[in-house]
């Protein structure tokens, strides 16, 4: 199991706590994606597992998005590139388990793939 985590985010911390409580025996790889940004390939793979369009993974209320991207018409690849350049734009947390992925918002949504 892998969780793309931002320890400063309360929803991300809540999601991780649910995972640790519900499946304590499971090894969890915690990826602090702000410290270790994702490549375009990794992000495309995650988006594929989520079954969403890249724009659906963007935190549109982030200052970076509002100031630099909001008014633009971007291709999927351009949205992915923006998230790679500015990992803060990636919605969190993302949990991957058994080739399934979810965005943990609300945190209890993680129960759907456990």
The pLDDT value given to residue 12: 96
Sheet holding 100-103, edge to edge: 29-31, 2-4, 94-97, 100-103
What is the value of pTM for the model shown? 0.93
The predicted-structure confidence for 4-57, as pLDDT tens digits, reads as follows 999 999 999 999 999 999 988 889 999 999 999 999 999 999 999 999 999 999
Domain residue limits at 54: 2-113
What is the CATH classification number for the domain harbouring 68? 3.40.30.10
pLDDT at 24: 86
Total number of domains in the chain: 1
- Kindly report, residue by residue over 76-94, the tens digit of the pLDDT: 999 999 999 999 999 999 9
Indicate which residues carry an active-site annotation: 9
**Three-state secondary-structure class, residue 33:** coil
Average pLDDT score over residue span 92-103: 96
């Amino acid at each position: 199991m892998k969780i793309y985590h931002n320890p400063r985010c309360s929803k991300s911390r809540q999601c991780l706590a649910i995972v640790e409580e519900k499946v304590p025996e499971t090894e969890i790889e915690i990826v602090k994606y702000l410290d270790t940004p994702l490549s375009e390939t990794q992000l495309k793979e995650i988006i594929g597992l989520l079954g969403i369009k890249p724009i659906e993974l963007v935190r549109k209320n982030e200052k970076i998005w509002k100031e630099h991207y909001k008014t633009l018409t971007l291709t999927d690849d351009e949205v992915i590139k923006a998230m790679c350049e500015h990992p803060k734009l990636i919605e969190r947390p993302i949990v991957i388990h058994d080739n399934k992925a979810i965005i943990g918002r609300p945190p209890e949504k993680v129960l759907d793939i456990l």
